[in-house]
Each structure stands twice: as structure tokens, then as C-alpha cells.
Amino acid sequence: MTRARTGFLSFVLAFSVLISCHWHYRSTAYSYVKPRQFSDSLPVGTMYDEGMDTSKIVALTKLILADTFPNIHSMLILRHGKLIYENYFAGEDEIVGKGRAAYVGHTADDLHDCRSISKSFTSACIGIAIKQGFIKSIDEPIFSYFKEYGKYFDSTKRKITIRHLLTMTSGLEWDENTPYLDPKNSEIQMDGSDDPVQFILSRKLTSVPGTTWNYSAASATLLGEILRKVTGEKIDKYAEKNLFAPLGIKKYTWEPMLKDKDMTAAAWGLRLRPRDLAKFGLLYMTAGKWGNTQVLDTDWVKQSLSAQVLRPSESSKIVRGYGFQFWTDPLTLPRYTTDLPFALGRGGQLIIFWRSMDIVLVFTGGNYNQNNTGSGIYAAFIKYIIPSVKEMQPYLK
């Protein structure tokens, strides 16, 4: 299985950790049970009815309970449109900007930080705004929405479009490679500024817009403000009416920026229940349709989960991409290859779209400020989840 390390989910390595901050004993006893059916429009089923081997997932669950895969807070598996596995785990946690909450429990009804998965929700709201006619085209220059900051736009900056924000190719100087605990990190500086939009637009250009991918919370922040300008609503209220309501999402918070409390943190502030993250995943798996409602245009979903630009890679053999605030990586096994789009948030927040097997995976976790080269969720996926899918077993022999 070592060849499996040629493409998929290298991003997880930066969001997993091999040791917990504090040691707590808990039983590793576990037997598989069918998820509970709530009145939340999320259908449930069983693993065996949907073609999955429960023994592999039971083994993985026990390893999570033993902290072999530490500080995972939830794991949900959906197949063929049904929730077939659901579990929650106690662990170290925090709410962004509000300090550490120590060792806490997690249940199906608890909100959890989404961190940068918020960016994917912001992208969805832009797609809905286009569908509703508030935005004509993603190829519109953003200058028309920020004329009050006109002094920061030279002739090249005026070429930055909504598409460039969606794909993180604006060309604006931005550094999120510096650790988030370091005040030199651009996102930390933006979050603490009196005027986050001014902070972003005053950055110099380091590349021609549309030519270079660079991870940037600035992109989603500007998208959130564009949405407010065209709809008259902050992104949290717009999402509540146009995205959450159709999906039956009734419980959420969307935190404001750390200093400018009048501005919703479109890049990182959303808190949801893992089940509602699962609904969001299913919405994209069903080409934007939920029940009888076409929430997102089918083409928007297709573009969002497809590589619109390429991300830098350590290997010329690995092609990694980025869609509309979603990531794409290849999964390459000795006898099986596919693409895996995903939504990603710091600390182990993940929605993985395994489309060829009609599977959505949801993880939440609390490894927010730790980097390591351990296996984490990557190993859990490769060693346990993939082999649990009966259709995959011939490829693994």
C-alpha cells in the first residue's frame, strides 16, 4: 500500500498529530450500530446494506478511541445518499478566537468549528447568488464592488475577478505558510485589523491575477463582502435563508471577525453539527439538488469540485488542483485511480467526496495548531475505509 502515498490527502498530514496534549482514559469497546434517524431530512442506513465491511470500520473506531488516531471528534460515512456510520469522540477542543475549551465531549447535537470549510460554504453562497441573478458573472472584476477603495487599485489590480477569488489566484501578496500562532501570518493580521477589506486590497501584487495559486483567507473574505453588497445581507443571514433552510439546517453560528464585529468571518467562522456538514456534502454529490429543490446549479457544482487551477506539488507525477474553494487530489493505488475533491478546515475538519464509490466522509477534530508528518486521517482512509468498501477489495489484492 505504500504506493497509495503518491497523491491523496497529503494535506491531512498538517492537520493530524500523533500525541494528545493531555491523556484521558476511555474504553475502546465498540460494536457497530445503525445511525439514529432524526427528523432532519438525512436518511440513514446500514453499512452492510450499502456494501461495506463493518469489521474494518469497527477496528478503526477502536483505534480512534485508543487515540492511535488522536483528537478526532467525529467520523461520519454516507453511501448511496444514506448516513451509514456516525460516531462522536471526546477530545481537546477550542472555538476559534475564544480560547481553549480543554477536554470536552462531542455529540450529534453539538456545533463544531468548521474553520476553513467555511470557505466552501461561502463559495456555495456565491453560486446561489449567481443563480438568483445578484451576480452576473464570476468573470466580473471585483473593482466594481470596492470602488471606495479605488486608491488601492492600479491597472493590473483592476483585472482581479470573482473567479480569481474563488480559485485563490488573485495575485495579492499573502502569507499563510507562516504558523497561525505567529503574528506575521497574513490571516492573523487581517483578522486583527480595523478594516479587513482595506488590509487585503492594500496588499501589493506578487503575480498577474489568474496565474498563480496561493492559499489565502483573503479570497473568501472578499467574496463574503461582495455577497453583502449585492444582496444587502451578511453571509450568515443569506446562507440561513438560501442554503441552510433548504437543507433543514436549523442550528448554527457564524462568528464575526475578531476585531471588526460587524463583519462575518466568511473564511473561517462557521460552526455546524457534523450531520449538517454531511448534508452539505450530499448536496454536492447530488449535483446541487436537495429533495425537489435545485439549490445549486449543476454546472456550478461540477466546476466547484473540478480542478480549475493547479496547486504546487512536491512531485511532478502528482497533479493537485483547486476548484471554487474546494481542493482536489488524486487517489492512486496500484490498480485504481480516481480524483477526490474535498473541503478542508484546519484541525482535521474534512468533507471528502469519493464520487466513484458514491461515498461522502465527514471528519471533525481538534488538532488546530499542530503540524507533523504522521499518518492521521490519511492512514485511516487508506488502511481502513478503502478496504471496507466491498467493490474496492479486488483492487487491493
Q: How far apart are CA 147 and CA 375, in angstroms?
A: 47
Average pLDDT over residues 237-254: 98
- More confident site: 42 or 15: 42
How many CB atoms are closer than 10 A to CB 202? 14
Q: How confident is the model at residue 371 (pLDDT cuts 50, 70, 90)?
A: low
pLDDT in tens, 152-202: 999 999 999 999 999 999 999 999 999 988 999 999 999 999 999 999 999
DSSP for residue 35: P
Share of the chain above pLDDT 90, in %: 85
Q: How far apart are CA 316 and CA 311, in angstroms?
A: 11
User: Are the C-beta atoms of 112 and 273 separated by less than 8 Å?
Assistant: yes
Measured between alpha carbons, how far is residue 55 from residues 32, 63, 389 in Å? Answer: 9, 13, 11
pLDDT for 19: 36
| Domains annotated on the chain, with CATH | 2-35+43-110+273-342+356-396 (no CATH), 119-242 (3.40.710.10)
User: Are the C-beta atoms of 295 and 125 separated by less than 8 Å?
Assistant: no
By C-alpha distance, which of 340, 300, 303 is closest to 319?
Answer: 340
Average pLDDT over residues 261-265: 97
pLDDT in tens, 108-130: 999 999 999 999 999 999 999 99
pTM: predicted TM-score of the whole model, two decimal places = 0.93
Q: How confident is the model at residue 7 (pLDDT cuts 50, 70, 90)?
A: low
Share of the chain above pLDDT 70, in %: 91
Residue entry with cell 492600479: 154
User: Are the C-beta atoms of 292 and 286 separated by less than 8 Å?
Assistant: no
User: Are the C-beta atoms of 362 and 276 separated by less than 8 Å?
Assistant: no
Q: How confident is the model at residue 23 (pLDDT cuts 50, 70, 90)?
A: low
Strand extents, DSSP E, the chain: 72-79, 82-88, 91-94, 100-104, 112-113, 253-254, 270-272, 289-290, 293-294, 309-310, 321-322, 327-333, 336-345, 349-354, 359-365
DSSP for residue 119: H
Phi, psi (rounded to 5 degrees) for 103: -90, 115
pLDDT at 17 over 80: no
pLDDT at 3 over 50: no
pLDDT for 156: 97
User: Are the C-beta atoms of 271 and 283 separated by less than 8 Å?
Assistant: no
Q: What is the mean pLDDT of the chain?
A: 92
User: Are the C-beta atoms of 45 and 81 separated by less than 8 Å?
Assistant: no
Q: How confident is the model at residue 5 (pLDDT cuts 50, 70, 90)?
A: very low
C-alpha cell at position 218: 483573503
Q: How confident is the model at residue 296 (pLDDT cuts 50, 70, 90)?
A: very high
Q: How far apart are CA 75 and CA 81, in angstroms?
A: 16
The H-assigned helical ranges of the chain are 54-65, 117-131, 162-166, 186-191, 196-201, 217-231, 235-239, 245-247, 274-285, 298-304, 376-380, 386-388
* DSSP3 helix / strand / coil % (the chain, rounded to 5): 35, 20, 45
Q: How far apart are CA 323 and CA 326, in angstroms?
A: 5
Residue entry with cell 475538519: 349
Collect all residues with Cβ–Cβ distance below 8 Å to 106 and sequence separation of at least 6: 73, 74, 88, 89, 90, 91, 93, 112, 364
Measured between alpha carbons, how far is residue 303 from residues 169, 265, 322, 327 in Å? Answer: 16, 24, 10, 12
